[in-house]
Structure 1
Amino acid sequence: MLRTFVGLHLRDLGGWIRVAALLDLLATAGVSNSSTRSAVSRLKGKGLLIPDKREAVAGYRLDSAAVSGLERGDRRIFTYRGQRDDEPWCLVSYSLPEVDRSKRVQLRRTLMGLGFGAVTDGLWIAPGHLRAEVEDALVGLDVRDRATIFITQTPLTAEPFAQAAAKWWQLDTLAARHTEFLRRYEHAAPLSENSAPLPENSAPKSSLEPREAFVLWLHCVDEWKAIPYVDPGLPPSALPSDWPGMRSVELFAQLRRTQAEPARAHVREISSAES
C-alpha cells in the first residue's frame, strides 16, 4: 500500500512529504502507523525513500533514481495495450545451462512478470508490443546473448489457438483476478453495456468526498497494479467469448476518471496542512 501511495502521489507533491502527513494519509486508508513505519523502513532499504528533514520538519524524499522505474510502471498500469488479431507476436527462445540455474529461474520470473506465456520450458510468447520491454529485461539480466527473439504472425497450433493460449497464460486464473476486481469495485462505478462512451476531454465528477475518493482510489490501484503485468492484452482470437478482462479494464479507466483527481486534491490538502 505504501509503495502504491508513493507511485501515485509523491511525484505530484514535488517528491517530498512530511512524516506526519504520510502517517495520517495511510491511516485513513486503514494502514496502522506501525505498519507504515515498517513499510517505510523496507522502502528506505530498497532506495525508494530517503529521510529528509526540511526546516526542522521530518519527512521523506523520493530517490531520483527511482523515478524512471515509477514511470515505467505508470505506462504499464495506466495505459492498457490490447493486441489486435492482425498484429504480430513476440517469441523468446533461450538456453541456459544448469550452472546458470539461478539466472534461468530469474529469467522465467521476469518473463512471467512481463506477461509472457510459457509455450515450453525455453520458449515464451507475448504480444509483439512487448518486444522493447523484453529486450531491456534480457540485457538487464545479462542473458541477451543466450536468447533469440522472433517477431511472427499467429503461431500454427495443432489445437485451436485459443485452447493453446488458455494453457500458456493460465487464463482461468487470470480471469478470476479480473472477476474479483469487478466484484470489489463495480459498485463504485457501475458499467452499463448501453451507456455511451464519455467524450475524450470530459472530466466526470466523483460522487464521493475527496477523503473517500482517496481511500477508494488507493485501494483500487493497489489491487489493480499487478494485473497488467500478468495480462499482456491478448487479442480476441486468444480469449474465450465470456472474457471479463475488458470489463475490468474499462472499470479501472472509469474509476481513474472519477476518483484520481479528488484523491490527489485530498493528498495535497493533508500534505500542505501545518504539522
Structure 2
Amino acid sequence: MTPPSPPAAAEVVLDDIEARPGSTTSLLRTLIGLYLRPLGGRIPSAALVRLAGDLGIPAARARTAITRLKQHGLLLATADAGYELNPAALPMLERGDRRIFAVRTMAAGDEWMLVSATIPETRRDLRHQVRRRLQFLGAGAVTAGLWILPAHLAEEVDQLLAELDARAYATLFRTSDPMPAEPLADAAARWWDLSALRAEHERFLASVADLDPGRPFAAYVRLIDSWRVLPYIDPGLPASLLPAGWPGARSVHEFERLSAALGPEAQEHVLGVAGRS
C-alpha cells in the first residue's frame, strides 16, 4: 500500500483551530508549539511521552495523540526514535507566538480593515475555509462575503488568503471611519458574537483558578492551552464598543501575571527532561 502523502501547508495551518483546549491533543499541540523550537526542532520519543505524563496524560493516550498530530502534519518521525517539527507548520506557530504573547487592543481612531471575498459557487469548500479562518482571526461578519477586523491584522489576513490560495478572490480595504446606519457599538454587537466571546473570557478566568503553581510545568502548559484561542477570536475592540464590565482586560492581566511567574521554571523542567540542561 502506498503511504499517504504529507499534509499540504494549508492543512497544517488549519490544525491550529482543531483541538479543544484541555483535550489530550490540544495539550500536546501546545507543548510542542512551546518547546520544540527551543530544543532545536527535535525531541526523543521517550522525552515527549514523559512530558505528557507530567501533564497527567497516560503514555498510551499520549502516543495515540502524537500519532494524530503526525497525521495532521505538525510532527514528523525521525530515524532515531524521535520527532521533529514539520517545517510547513512553522508559519502557523510563528503567527501563534505573535498573537499569544503580544496581545494588541484597538484604541479609538485606529484603522479598520474590510475584506470583501467573492468566491465562485463551485468553490464552496474554499468559501467555508475562508469564512472559518477569518472568524478565527477575529473578523466580524458585516454581510455575507464582507468582513471587518483591526487593520493591524492586515499582514495576517494577506498571509492567510495566500496560504488558502484565495487571494485572487479578495479585495482588502482600510478605513478609519466605518459608518453603519446605527451607532457603531450597536453594529459591532451584530458583527461579532460578543456574548460568546464574553463566555470564552469567563471560561479562561475560571480555568486559571484551578492551576497548581506548585507544579509550574503543568500549570504553564495548561495556562497557554487555555489561553491560546482567545487572542485569535477576540479582535481587541476599543472599550467604547464593548459592553460594561467586559472581562477582556482582566483575562490579559491574569495571563501575563501567570505566564511571567510560571514560564521560566517550566522551561527548565523541559530542558532537563530532554537532556538539554
Pick the aligned partner of 2:228 from 225, 229, 246. Answer: 225
Q: Which has the larger radius of gyration?
A: 1
* CA displacement 1:207-239 (0-9 Å, x = unmatched): 944xx0111111111111111110011111221
Q: Hey, what does 1:109 align to over in structure 2? A: 132
Alpha-carbon spacing, 1:152–1:142, altered in 2? closer, same or farther (3 Å): same
Tell me how far apart the structure 1 counterparts of residues 164 and 90 of structure 2 sit (CA, whole Å): 20
User: Who is 2:5 aligned against?
Assistant: none
Pairing 1:83–2:106 present: yes
Q: In structure 2, how many angstroms separate the alpha carbons of the residues matched to 1:103 and 1:169? A: 22
Q: 2:51 maps to what in 1?
A: 25
Please give the alpha-carbon distance, in whole angstroms, between the structure 2 residues aligned to 1:50 and 1:142: 25
1:154 CA drift (Å):
3.2
Runs of 4+ aligned structure 1 residues displaced above 3 Å come to none
Match for residue 265 of structure 1? 268
Aligned equivalent of 2:96, options 64, 68, 73: 73
Measured after TM superposition, the shift of residue 130 of structure 1 is 0.9
Measure how far apart 1:143 and its partner are: 2.6
Match of 2:67 among 41, 45, 55: 41
1:12 match: 38
Q: Deviations over 1:44-93 (max 9, x none)?
A: 22332222244xxx322223343332112111111111111111100111
Bigger mean CA offset, 116-125 vs 157-166: 157-166
Counterpart Cα distance in 2 of 1:139 and 1:23: 35
After TM superposition, give the deviation of residue 11 of structure 1 in Å: 1.3
Is residue 198 of structure 2 the alignment partner of residue 175 of structure 1? yes
Query: Identity percentage over the alignment?
Result: 46
Question: Would you say 1:145 and 2:155 are equivalent positions?
Answer: no
Letter in structure 2 aligned against 1:38: T
Task: Answer whether contact 2:207 2:226 (CA < 8 A) is retained.
Answer: no
> What residue ranges of structure 2 are gaps of 5+ in the alignment?
1-26
**One-letter amino acid of the counterpart of residue 223, structure 2:** C
Corresponding residue SS for 1:118 = strand
Q: Is the 8 A contact 2:213 2:219 kept in 1?
A: no
Residue 141 and residue 22 in structure 1: after superposition, are their counterparts in 2 closer, same or farther (change >3 A)?
closer
Aligned pairs for 1:241-256 within 5 A: 241-256=244-259
Q: Any idea what SS the aligned residue of 2:274 has?
A: helix
Is the Cα–Cα contact under 8 Å of residues 161 and 237 in structure 1 kept in the other structure? no
**Superposition deviation, residue 157 in structure 1:** 2.2
Q: Gapped runs of 5+ residues in structure 1? A: 189-206
TM normalised by structure 1 equals 0.85
Work out the CA distance in 1 between the residues paired with 2:177 and 2:201: 25
In structure 2, the partner of 1:95 is 118
The root-mean-square deviation of aligned C-alpha atoms, in Å, is: 1.8
Change (3 A) 1:246 1:20: same
Give 2:220's aligned amino acid: W
Q: 2:154 aligns with which of 92, 112, 131?
A: 131
The offset of 1:186, in angstroms, is 4.4
Q: Deviations over 1:102-145 (max 9, x none)?
A: 21111111111111000111111001111111112222223323
1:156 to 168, 173, 179: 179
